[in-house]
Amino acid sequence: MYARAAGLEPARLPRHVAVIMDGNGRWALGRGWERFNGHRRGADTVRAITTECAKLGIPRLTLYAFSSENWTRPASEVEFLMDLLADFLRSELPTMLENNIRLESIGRVDELPERVLFELANARSATAANTGTILCLALSYGGRDEIVDACRKLADQAARGALDPTSIDRTTLQSALYAPQAADVDVVIRSAGERRLSNFLPWQAAYAEYVDHPALWPDFTVADFRSCLLEYQGRERRFGAVPTR
């Protein structure tokens, strides 16, 4: 089996992996190049890690592709990232289809430019029937915004008399998230050696294991990804309970 050959325990693979892809800018600047080049190479890493998840049979991979805070970057960098996203969604479609990958997105996607929305809708509908790994791109995503948006949705239902406020519990709030059906995040992986959650999936990652890796995202390899999964598999997950012996 592929997972075992990759040195991983198939029964203990995470169901939901979330990745904070950090270090594109540093990778480029370290070579005396413009930051754009780091993002371009970062897209190659996205392709490699997504394909690896499909081969391993990991059900869901969420990538922090553009945060709500990233809008504050220089306009030229934002433009470049949007073009890169649109290109990626178009050029990667055959690979997604070949690997049975379904594309999804979370975030305030209506804030994205028309060209990205077009490619996103196209890739989503073209891959909708795929049954393998779900590649979920977090776009214009902020974890606190997601919770605010969920609260607004529920408040609206309550105001219309469709929801009894006293009945609201965790399941109700989960149902109002951007991807309500998604399993909790098992492991958050962050490249470039940083150890911050940066407003990424705070609700979904409440019990996630956190693994950081020193490689800058453009240098992050399939072997690095496997080593992160191996570290995850070595952790004892307790979910607040006492250890079982």
Task: Return residues touching ligand FPP (CB under 6 A).
Answer: 21-26, 39, 42-43, 46, 63, 65, 70, 84-85, 88, 137, 217
Q: How many CA atoms lie within 13 A of 231 on its CB side?
A: 16
Q: Cβ of residue 209: shortest distance to ligand FPP, in angstroms?
A: 21
Which is closer to ligand FPP, CB of 58 or CB of 85?
85
Q: Cβ of residue 171: shortest distance to ligand FPP, in angstroms?
A: 31
- Active-site residue among 24, 37, 44, 70? 70
Q: Cβ of residue 229: shortest distance to ligand FPP, in angstroms?
A: 19
Which is closer to ligand FPP, CB of 7 or CB of 30?
30
Is 22 one of the catalytic residues?
A: yes
* CB-count exposure of residue 110 (10 Å: 0-12, 13-18, 19+): exposed
Q: Cβ of residue 50: shortest distance to ligand FPP, in angstroms?
A: 9
Output Rg (C-alpha) for the chain, integer angstroms: 18
Which is closer to ligand FPP, CB of 120 or CB of 154?
120
**What are the CA-CA distances from residue 227 to residues 7, 132, 156, 214, 233 (Å)?**
9, 22, 45, 12, 10
CB contact at 8 A, 108 and 68: yes
| Residue 177 to residue 240: CA distance in whole angstroms | 24
Q: Dihedral sign for Cα 31, 37, 42, 44, please.
A: negative
Which is closer to ligand FPP, CB of 3 or CB of 49?
49
Q: Name the residues annotated as catalytic.
A: 22, 70
